[in-house]
Amino acid sequence: MRRFSLGTLVMEALAGHKGWERQWRSPEPKAAYDVVIVGGGGHGLATAYYLAKEHGITNVAVLEKGWIGGGNTGRNTTIIRSNYLQDESAAIYEHAVRLWEGLSRELNYNVMFSQRGVMMLAHNEHDVRSLKRHVYANRLYGIDNEWLSAAEAKAFCPPLNIAPDIRYPVIGAALQRRGGVARHDAVAWGYARGADARGVDIIENCEVTGFRRGPDGAIAGVETTRGDIATPRVGVVAAGHSSVVMARAGLRMPLESFPLQALVSEPVKPVFPCVVMSNTVHAYISQSDKGELVIGAGTDQYVSYSQQGGLHIATHTLEAICELFPQFSRMRMLRSWGGIVDVTPDRSPIIGATPIPGLYVNCGWGTGGFKATPGSGHVFAHTIAKGEPHAINAPFSLDRFRTGHLIDEAAAAAVAH
Amino acid sequence: MLLIACPHCGERPEIEFRCGGEAHIARPADPGAIDDAAWAGFLFYRTNPKGVHAERWLHAHGCGRWFNALRDTVSDRMLATYAMGAPRPEVPSPLVGVPSPLAGEGQGGGKPPTAIVGSPPTPNPSPQGGGESP
Amino acid sequence: MRFDGRPIEAYAGDTAASALLAGGIHHVARSFKYHRPRGILSHGSEEPNALLTVDRGGGRIEPNSRATCIEAVDGLALASQNHWPSLGFDLGAVNGLLSPLFAAGFYYKTFMWPRAFWERLYEPAIRRMAGLGRAPAAPDPDRYQHRHAHCDVLVIGAGPAGLAAALAASESGARVMLADEQAEMGGALLHDVTSTIDGKAAWDWLAEVIAELGRRGNVTLLSRTTAFGYYNHNHVGLAQRLTDHLSAPHADLPRERLWQVRAREVVLATGAHERPLVFAGNDRPGIMLADSLRAYVNRYGVAPGRRAVIATTGASAYMAAADLKAAGLEVTLVDVRPESECGEDMDALRSVGCAVLAGHTVLGSRGGKRVAGLLVAPTDADLSASPRLLDCDCVGVSGGWTPAVHLFSQSRGRLAFDGELDAFVPGASVQAERSAGACRGTYRLATCLEEGWAAGAAAAGGRGERSFAASATRVGFRPTRILPGCEGSGRGRAFVDLQNDVTAKDIGLAVREGFRAIEHVKRYTTTGMATDQGKTSNMTALGLAAAALDKPVAAVGTTTFRPPYTPVTFGALAGPSRGRLFDPVRTTPIHDWAAAHGAVFEDVGLWKRARYFPRSGEDMHAAVARECRAVRAGVGIFDASTLGKIEVVGRDAAEFLDRIYVNSFARLASSRCRYGLMLREDGYILDDGVVARLAADRFHVTTTTGGAGRVLQHMEDYLQTEWPQLEVYLTSITEQLAVIALQGPSARELLAPLVEGIDLGGAELPHMGVCEGAVCGIPCRLFRVSFTGEAGFELNVAADYGQGVWEALVERGAALGITPYGTEAMHVLRAEKGFIIVGQETDGTVTPDDVGLGGLIGKAKGDFVGKRSLQRPDLVSPRRRQLVGLLTHDAQTVLEEGAQIVADPAQPRPKHMLGHVTSSYWSTACGRPIALALVEAGRAMFGKTLFATTTAGFIDVGVCAPVFYDAKGERVHG
């Protein structure tokens, strides 16, 4: 792999950029692999990368039915934070944030992780109680989170409207300064390049259509649109399509897939310094390095694979944006889009083994998967390599739906955005 | 925003309705008699299909009645709505990528009116009635 | 109008672009990345270059507005953007010199060392360079409107096809809406001075048709209205601009209106976009689309120059050349196609005195901030040999046409690639729509009209065909990605996406680096992602990528078209839901009294609830302490009207409630109440309240304030879908009744003289009794219940009488020191008694046993909702968190709600958290702070010391039973 650096960039610039290599190859699938990852999004590619790097398992294929990073990796609002309430969630998201902090250099690919702070607003006494519960829990865990008055929130985010006479005034906020945003596409490409350089085959336009089982019932391979592939271990990381893929293995999942919308404004000069989230009025906003205001909207209420939601979801979100930031009313929506988010009953992911030996699953990230990408891939690679979960993902088992040991982040009224 | 044909009120915009998730998940007659895994199956496990989905809707800002619908989760087209308790109607499976017979080459409209199946007024006692998603 | 401070003359009907061009101004902008001088490319909403900041005064500032869409108005201040210090001299242009470094994706390859520099140095610098205009700083003074509409046929686009469609559709009486984004309807006919339709000049035909449509009562004409989004089930979003074109709009007019149209059928007649040509230096100001040159000359009466060169790969530009020549410009036409392909168009043009160079390519442009010449050479010669310089002061380019299939694609119709047209056209429909005219690749005028007519008639449910006689249209072009001779390096940059400064080389680089999907190429190079969303450039980018991949265009496919078609203001989308209208406000029947008596309100869901009633000089702490004392010592009055109330009536009402609640109600006597707890099916507490049996078949149940809707829906769900055989009727009576709580030892004394037909003396209305009678002469459902631990009553009277009864009680109670109290005192009083609040002590993960209410579960009961889940392993774990009381050892510190609890504060992080504080108050009755908490196995820890977090660190707390006052519960019996 040719390293990226200012030096190579200058040399290539002088040579007309003729010498750059493919960032990842486009190989034909082999007949057999040690591990097959189904799904070439950020989580799947990260899994393959860490399998190769941390566990020395390089005979790995990532099968992607479309183009890598084309699902939720490329469709989210890129918010990264770890200020989750439950210990189990805090552990995995903080694991991810720590990996994010070194990711550009780890991958030799600038993923533009920008720790500009994530601020969550309180609009009523219930919000205050809930956010303070988060602040205290996070601090004991070792995650930064601090309580701000409305005036302090305004100082941190000057566009914020803290007028006391609006319908739901801002009365305080919780701030995680280490939270931020990253460049979503670069995460997929960076992991792809890193995995490819270690021998992983990334195979696009290859859909898994079925699973092969051995006489003992264990996984023996997958059937794909590009032929059969033998493998003893399969990791399914198919996000919104997890139920569809798992159904091909005969498994039903505790998942529902909903459309989730987001939108951006036209680009403007820097005006918004951080990430602001309000679960009460449903507003999620930051500004990209390109200058677009990036705004998350809600999910539609019905199961859908259409990657398209209703107009009323976007208008509802923009009502809240204009209420909190009335100066943005004359800004314009440039582009809106939808993703398919797979949601579990407790809004927490499933990462681990399945009833079929050799088949592992990583799904159910709902509206909050992007931020977990490095951590998710890291512990899922461990799970596949060792045949047992990493301590961090052990609680995120399928079995918790039987025992009732749910990890309910909605508990303190925090939507996992 | 979907246009949904309430079996009791006719076509209304989606904002009048609340979706109640997958239909035809019968609540076990004797929950105490089944094991934890089976109970979890009832509580949490869903078909979540890419294709025809039988789902429950409540006409919350209308007649207040629950009913069932069949919808294609790929195109979001409503295929049928039917009263709670009525059996799931047969509908032709909408194959992904194949348009409706009414559609032409950019020359003809796709969506047929939603079929309303089943008799509206009386809810029919039936274990097929529906289920609760928490 | 002014532009960068200079006055600009404009006429009615002008756009900013036409006025600037009339003033001889071509250089109006700087590009996104290289800050190159840019001019006006087009005359429509597809404009990528000419983005201006508009200041309409009074804080009405809009960045990134397309000069081609800004209607000229008196007093408008226009400013160029993205430069420093000025448009003419922009230091940012140094980026152009460094452009070899700034190739596609360069930022992914550097700025990684040292790590801290990304956020401190590189990113801020990149952010400052990026963006275009500046966001407005002041709140928007304008207002916006929403409107919902239904129609039989929505026609989008009022060019020839759309007009014909609207005519045909409306003939049968169908309700027709016709929307067009421009100020005037007519589309391409607006700049067509030579065509005839049915023997009439195109402009005359247009005027007659618009007048005819205007006369038809079943037609709604919407100009300045952009159909921006095509959603599910023929739900189409339209953005209508109402005041921006007025110099002094009436103050009552909304600025914009969002239409949400549900159309039975949609006819798409959205036209096509002309493609620019890709050659070295193709971005110089003065280089415009050929058809736009024609539009400026014919429609606006503006000559963008005197000496024009038209460079084309197709026939339509010959019409532009002829019109320019007819208007008196000097015209030379350069056609990439060999003479043999140009046919009679060429001869016709030559015959009017234009020079035509067929078989020629363009190798570059000359000039500074405005084009001064074009380098051309024959395509069949050695291209580097002897290019010829054509002097000119404006250039029209035409690389063919791209149908505007955006809305069709948004409707999820499948696009099909038509090699003949070199474009994607509508394929199979998914929704009830049809396309007509140029948006499906039909470019001949007569055919557009005929298609439009047929589509309109069919959409209205008929079958109609009509032929139109129209003059011939010159059509056909040779698909060309990059002009011959410009492929290699050395000639300068050939731009594909003008706004984002994406060059043909960038696309080649992306493909070389392994970005093989068109979405990857788009995202890596950012082509098509600027504010124009690549309307003029996407096909060229796609073609270049396909060539680099050595695949046919059809196999590469296109990127997804997403709403909106053109940018839509946030204000229009948000509409009137601002300020007080952001969310409805719910107030109780007693709200006005509370407001008049100085209550401080809090938001609880949509409700405004009185939180406390401060007297002058009192802060919240003092007011709440006084209110609490009054209840414990005398009598307090509290507005509980927000509580949800449901009547459960019918033969099987008791059976139904037995299945919904954990408690048993079958044996609850009439005129008696019981505290009820209900679970979700997963075993966690959903809500609580009082269940009162009024008669054998009639119950009055209360819910929490926030849970009212949820509980009714939960009950209806089970009733309708699981147990439809039960004869039960559920009726919400929340809004019908005002609820007044009288609590305290003097409550009975106050109430006794005011009731009729009720004996408050004991046996008839004991604690947890209910009866019906009258209070102050008003029919009343009287509960003897207590959420404070004191003897108390809750009066339910018809909502309209609520405030009257309240005022009477306050008046009569004055002698007893009656004190209104708010939610804060209510919280303190109930916490002193250890009563939970659902949503505060519980959070959706709490079981009855967790909060010490396991005993409520009817032991002999059959199944109820949630029962089975309570047996799951985790719900019977000994490590579950249980409700306890906490007392700070210093007896002074009020814990923070949300504070976490640990056994050992010195342990390393992550510290093991045992639980958290759910409620915490200063208790006047106890003379010390009290708190409730959920603590792991907490009921076994009474008497032990734990530690709770504070803003300063930790404080030691003692664990105790969660009841702090009148533990035996004697006071309720008065």
Question: What number of other Cβ atoms are within 10 A of residue C129's Cβ?
Answer: 16
Contact C232 B18 (CB under 8 A): no
pTM: 0.95
Residue-level pLDDT at C258:
98
State residue C96's pLDDT score. Answer: 85
Q: Output the tens digit of pLDDT for each of chain A's 417 residues.
A: 889 999 999 999 999 899 999 999 999 999 999 999 999 999 999 999 999 999 999 999 999 999 999 999 999 999 999 999 999 999 999 999 999 999 999 999 999 999 999 999 999 999 999 999 999 999 999 999 999 999 999 999 999 999 998 999 999 999 999 999 999 999 999 999 999 999 999 999 999 999 999 999 999 999 999 999 999 999 999 999 999 999 999 999 999 999 999 999 999 999 999 999 999 999 999 999 999 999 999 999 999 999 999 999 999 999 999 999 999 999 999 999 999 999 999 999 999 999 999 999 999 999 989 999 999 999 999 999 999 999 999 999 999 999 999 999 876 553 333
Query: Which of helix, strand or coil describes residue C83?
Result: coil
Nearest CA in chain C to A75: C523
> Which alpha helices (DSSP H) does chain B contain, by range?
36-44
Reference A251, options A349, A394, A363, A341; nearest CA is A363
Strand C729-732 relative to strand C644-649, pairing: antiparallel
Asked if residue C145 has pLDDT above 90, the reply is: yes
Type and span of the H or E element at C649? strand C644-649
Subunits next to B (3 or more Cβ pairs <8 Å) are: A, C
In the Cβ-directed half-sphere of C883, how many Cα atoms lie within 13 Å? 26
For A405, the closest chain B residue by CA position comes to B40
Closest-CA distance, C692 to chain B, in angstroms, reads 25
Cα(C137)–Cα(A270) distance, integer angstroms = 12
Interface residues of chain A, partner chain B, Cβ below 8 Å: 241, 243-244, 247, 252-257, 301-306, 308, 310-312, 342, 344-345, 401-403
In C763-892, where does DSSP find H-type helix? 802-813, 823-833
> A252 vs B2: CB contact, 8 Å cut-off?
no
Res. C488 pLDDT band, cuts 50 70 90: confident
Q: What subunits touch chain A, counting only 3 or more CB pairs under 8 A?
A: B, C
- What local confidence, expressed as pLDDT, does residue A252 receive? 97
Give the model confidence (pLDDT) of C218-253 as tens digits: 999 999 999 999 999 999 999 999 999 999 999 999
Say if residue B112's pLDDT is above 80. Answer: no
Contact of B58 with chain C, judged by CB distance below 8 Å, is answered with yes
How many beta-carbon pairs under 8 angstroms link B with C? 135
Q: What is the pLDDT of residue C343?
A: 85
Backbone angles phi, psi at A41, to 5 degrees: -90, -170
Q: The tokens 């609760």 sit on which residue?
A: B132
Say whether A167 and C106 touch across the interface (CB within 8 A).
no
Going by their DSSP bridges, the two strands C394-398 and C307-312 should be labelled as: parallel
Mean pLDDT of C286-294: 98
Using the beta-carbon criterion (under 8 Å), do A254 and B37 form an inter-chain contact? no
Q: Which among C112, C898, C911 has the least Cβ separation from residue A133?
A: C898
Per-residue DSSP letters for C493-555?
--EEETTTTEEHHHHHHHHHTT--SHHHHHHHH-TT-STTTTTTTHHHHHHHHHHHHT--HHH
pLDDT exceeds cutoff 50 at C147: yes
Which chain B residues are within 8 Å of A306, Cβ to Cβ?
73-76
CB A364 within 8 A of CB A348: yes
Residue B41 has pLDDT above 90, yes or no: yes
Shortest alpha-carbon distance between residue A253 and chain C (Å): 17
A305 interfaces chain C, CB cutoff of 8 Å: no
- Alpha carbon of B24 to those of A113, C722, C898: distances in Å? 46, 11, 41
Residues paired with residue C66 on neighbouring β-strands, in sequence order? C51
**How far is Cα A93 from Cα A369, in angstroms, rounded to an integer?**
10
Rounded distance between C-alpha atoms, residue C532 and residue C567, angstroms: 8
Substitution target from B25, B27, B35, B67 for chain C, most C beta carbons within 10 A: B27
**C948, two tokens:** 């709770």
Sign of the CA dihedral with A289 first, then A293, A298, and A299 last:
negative
**A163 and chain C in contact, CB less than 8 A:** no
Query: A342 to chain B: nearest residue by CA?
Result: B48
Q: Is A107 helix (H, G, I), strand (E, B) or coil?
A: helix
pLDDT (0 to 100) of residue A412: 55
* Bridge partners, residue A294, by sequence: A264, A286
Q: Stretch C759-784: mean pLDDT, rounded? A: 90
Per-residue model confidence (pLDDT) at position C200: 97
Q: Which residue of C has its CA nearest to A181?
A: C119
Residues 6+ apart with CB under 8 A from C850: C880, C881, C882, C883, C934
Question: E strands, A7-101, where?
Answer: 35-38, 60-63, 79-80
- CA A394 to chain CA centroid, nearest Å: 19
Nearest CA-CA partner of A120 in A279, A242, A351: A279
pLDDT beyond 80 at C967:
yes
3-state secondary structure of C217: coil
Establish if C672 touches chain B: CB-CB under 8 angstroms: no
C873 and A403 in contact by Cβ < 8 A? yes
Q: How confident is the model at residue C489 (pLDDT cuts 50, 70, 90)?
A: low
Q: Which of B44, B46, B50 sits opposite A305 (nearest CB)?
A: B50
- Between chains, do A402 and B21 touch, taking CB under 8 Å as contact? no
Flag if B66 and C873 touch (Cβ within 8 Å). Answer: no
Please tell me what DSSP assigns to residue C68: T
Lookup: tokens for A175: 């701030």
Neighbours of chain C (3+ CB pairs under 8 A): A, B
Nearest CB neighbour to A303, from listed B1, B40, B55: B55
Which runs of consecutive H residues, i.e. helices, occur in A142-181? 150-156
Question: What residues of A are in contact with residue B97 (Cβ under 8 Å)?
Answer: none
Residue contact B19–A241, C-beta within 8 A: no
pLDDT over 60 at C949, yes or no: yes
- Mean pLDDT over the full length of chain C: 95
- The CA distance from A322 to A160, in Å, is 10
Has residue B128 got a pLDDT over 60? no
Q: Considering only CB atoms, which chain A residues are within 8 Å of C119?
A: 114-116
pLDDT at residue B130 greater than cutoff 50: no
Burial A88-108 (b: 16+ CB within 10 A, else e): bbbbbbbbbbebbbebbebbb
CA neighbours closer than 13 Å in the CB half-sphere of residue C810: 17
pLDDT over 50 (residue B121): no
In the A/C pair of chains, how many CB contacts fall below 8 A? 333
